[in-house]
Structure 1
Amino acid sequence: MGAVTTDADDERVERLPKQDRSRATRQRLLEAAVACLAERGWAGSTVSVVAERAGVSRGAAQHHFPTREDLFTAAVEYVAEERSTAIRELFPQGTAAADRPAVISALVDLYTGPLFRAALHLWVAASNEEQLRPRVTELEARVGRETHRIAVELLAADESRPGVRETVQGLLDMARGLGLANLLTDDTGRRDRVIAQWSEILDREIRG
């Protein structure tokens, strides 16, 4: 993600129909924005920096995203949707109780890596930028609802039963905390033990 584009990449884009070229340029900008935000933080991620990384002009970037806030909220949303799609593709037929540890591990993985790092920078920026805060708040609420819905579906959790909804949400809150811990050190060993424990808790709650 966010790799420097090559002349061959540019030639392939130029050969596409106009609408497809526009879509390809937009995607390159979104991926470059996420990479910049993860690596440089909010202060170091300007539209010009992102445009250069994506291999497009600043004018082309502003054509797709008139403001910096437009660009970065769209970027994090784009990759969040990509990750949601990826997790669904891991379990195309849903899951069974025996697969819950794998589902929990995949959900936890949503909160590690460049996407989570980029989202974290966006949250910090939103806490200080009045113009950005409503956009990020709305985005996070939407992403949170979708992630919860996917978790319920993959875990085959019956939220009509008391306590099940809260247990699933607790899992996602815990996953976010594990993602924060992983930013500083490789937390794989402890994370694996926590995932195993949560699998047992969820099995008890879902089975009743």
Structure 2
Amino acid sequence: MGVVTPRAVTSPKQDRSRATRQKLLESAVACLAAHGWSGSTVSVVAEHAGVSRGAAQHHFPTREDLFTAAVEYVAEERSEALRGLRPQGRAEAVAALVDLYTGPLFRAALHLWVAASNEPALGGRVAELEARVGRETHRIAVRLLDADESVPGVREVVQGLLDMGRGLGLAHLLTDDGARRERVVSEWAGIVDRALSRQGGC
């Protein structure tokens, strides 16, 4: 008979610990999106998560520990959202990509960028993870738009779309101007489609 490898078993205590950690990360993102860096203390996050400050500090001894983990969590959630996009056609792809820049994950990421510019403990990690998410966003955008980057100018078209989406995300911090954004996105969808339709040299 072969050797039977015991299956990993988690205890209820381990499950509760993981659930608490997840709550804290989700709350850190929500608090950043709602209150920014200055208003997102460990106490505020713990209260939002429904756990004690002591429990929060058990998982994340310092504020920097908590928000460094939150940076990683936001980056992974944004990547998951990207990988889950299933638009039909270029117009839907443009709208879906722009939507990624106007949701709570991007809002939280913006607050992390601002915090990282003044917090050395966060700066390097934020820059590293944002570079990774940026590369993945561009790669997935190329696939969704059926873009051929070997054609001169196509890479710039794709990057211009992503830069535009990021700009709309910044504007969304100040006001929810959905109607104007919808018109801008519709126009850009036409621009992108016309530019990429010339890929074959027609």
- Structure 2-normalised TM-score? 0.82
Opposite residue 16 of structure 2, the aligned amino acid is R
1:114–1:101 Cα change, 3 Å: same
Match of 1:28 among 23, 26, 49: 23
Opposite residue 49 of structure 2, the aligned amino acid is A
Q: Which runs of 5+ in 1 are unaligned?
A: 1-15
Contact 1:73 1:139 (C-alpha < 8 Å) held by counterparts? no
Opposite residue 193 of structure 2, the aligned amino acid is D
Match of 1:171 among 158, 161, 178: 161
* Structure 2 partner of 1:158: 148
* Structure 2 partner of 1:149: 139
Take 2:188 and 2:49, find their aligned partners in 1: how far apart are those partners?
A: 40
1:88–1:131 Cα change, 3 Å: closer
Match of 1:45 among 29, 37, 40: 40
* Worse-superposed segment, 198-207 or 176-185: 198-207
* Structure 2 partner of 1:74: 69
Take 1:29 and 1:106, find their aligned partners in 2: how far apart are those partners?
A: 28
Deviation at 1:132, TM superposition (A): 2.1
Provide Cα deviations, 1:23-63, integer angstroms capped at 9, x if missing partner: 22221011100111112211111112212221223333233
Take 2:156 and 2:65, find their aligned partners in 1: how far apart are those partners?
A: 33
Contact 1:112 1:182 (C-alpha < 8 Å) held by counterparts? yes
Take 1:191 and 1:139, find their aligned partners in 2: how far apart are those partners?
A: 27
* 1:65 to 2:55 alignment: no
1:142–1:133 Cα change, 3 Å: same
Aligned residues: 189
Deviation at 1:169, TM superposition (A): 1.1
* Structure 2 partner of 1:8: none
Q: Which secondary structure state, in structure 2, belongs to the residue aligned with residue 183 of structure 1?
A: helix
1:156–1:65 Cα change, 3 Å: farther
Q: Which runs of 5+ in 2 are unaligned?
A: 1-10
Deviation at 1:80, TM superposition (A): 4.0
